[in-house]
Amino acid sequence: MKKRTTSILMRGVFAAMVIGAVFAGSANAAPAWKFNNTSLTGSETIVGAAFESSMTIPGLTTKCENFLYKLTISNKSGTGEGSLTEVPLYNCTTNSPVCTVDAIAAEKLPWASHLTTVTSSNYIVIEGVKVAILYGGEECVLGETVATVTGTAGGLINNTTETATFNASSFSATKTKLSALGSGIEWNGVFPTEAFEWHREQALTVS
């Protein structure tokens, strides 16, 4: 009888340890925004411009020379969050000789974002992305058509270069997807991160 009670107790303790370890693990895994290796308290505004960015529907690539963004970041319960409040896009072109970009605008801002860790790499996931692109050109099959890019985008955070890189690998790792015209699209972009307010010129890392 005593043996049985001890066995049940031991099993209970083991189960509690396992559950505790799992929770501790997930708490550690939640990445946070850090400035000079110190977790951000309060919020900070990050402003940047893409080094390069392009969106490709097979056969048609659209590029913007000026892809700017304004992201307000904070840590909530140890996990980094963000709110993309401004995404101005200028000087956009296509690789097609007949298609122009007559207008382009980010819609339904702000877009929420959060940090996540996937197999020891940190990512930023932007939700509710919506960008409307009005193509032009008499011979362009998309002429006078608004193509709306929607979905969720995941980008790999690199602490060394202080950048977020969005490409097929980062989308696959974060199980995110952007679509336009009912079809999946490819989005490639490298975005630098730089604090604009209280932590200006401080190293921004995610861990």
Partner 1 sequence: MRQKRKTTRVVCMAMFAVALATLGLAGSASAFSAEFKKFEFCPYTNTEVKKCLYSVTNSGEVVLGNKKVPVEKPVTLQGGFGKPDEITETSKFYEATNGITLSKAAQAVPGGLLGIVPPEKSPALVKALSKFFFENSLTGVNSTLELAKPASEIKISEIHLSTREGVALQLPIKVHLENPFLGKSCYVGSSTSPIIWNLTTGITTPPGPNKSIEGAAGEIEFLEGGRILELKNDVLVDNAWSAPSAAGCGGILSFLVNPIINGQIGLPSTAGHNTAILKNTIFLSTAAAVKKDHTEHP
CA distance 84 to 44: 12
Which member of 1, 59, 120, 160 binds partner 1 (CB under 8 A)? 59
DSSP E strand stretches across the chain? 33-35, 38-39, 43-49, 52-57, 60-76, 79-86, 89-94, 100-106, 111-118, 121-136, 146-158, 163-166, 177-180, 183-184, 186-192, 204-206
> Does 57 contact partner 1 by CB under 8 A?
yes
Q: Give the end-to-end CA distance of the chain in Å, rounded to a whole number.
A: 49
> Does 131 contact partner 1 by CB under 8 A?
no
Between 148 and 172, whose beta carbon lies closer to partner 1?
148
Please report how close the Cβ of residue 128 comes to partner 1 at its closest, in angstroms.
17
# chain residues binding partner 1, by CB under 8 A: 23
> Does 55 contact partner 1 by CB under 8 A?
no
| Spatial CB neighbours of 64, under 8 Å, sequence gap ≥ 6 | 50, 53, 89, 90, 91, 92, 104
> Does 109 contact partner 1 by CB under 8 A?
no
Between 138 and 201, whose beta carbon lies closer to partner 1?
138
> Does 181 contact partner 1 by CB under 8 A?
yes
Burial (CB count within 10 angstroms: exposed 0-12, middle 13-18, buried 19+), residue 190 = middle
How many Cβ atoms sit within 10 Å of the Cβ of residue 176? 20
Between 42 and 59, whose beta carbon lies closer to partner 1?
59
Which of 136, 139, 138, 151 lies closest to 181 in space, CA to CA?
151
Which member of 60, 71, 126, 164 binds partner 1 (CB under 8 A)? 60
Stretch that binds partner 1, among 4-12, 18-26, 57-65, 109-117 (CB under 8 A): 57-65
> Does 132 contact partner 1 by CB under 8 A?
no
> Does 133 contact partner 1 by CB under 8 A?
no
> Does 94 contact partner 1 by CB under 8 A?
yes
Q: List residues near partner 1 by CB under 8 A.
A: 57-60, 94, 96-99, 137-145, 148, 181-184
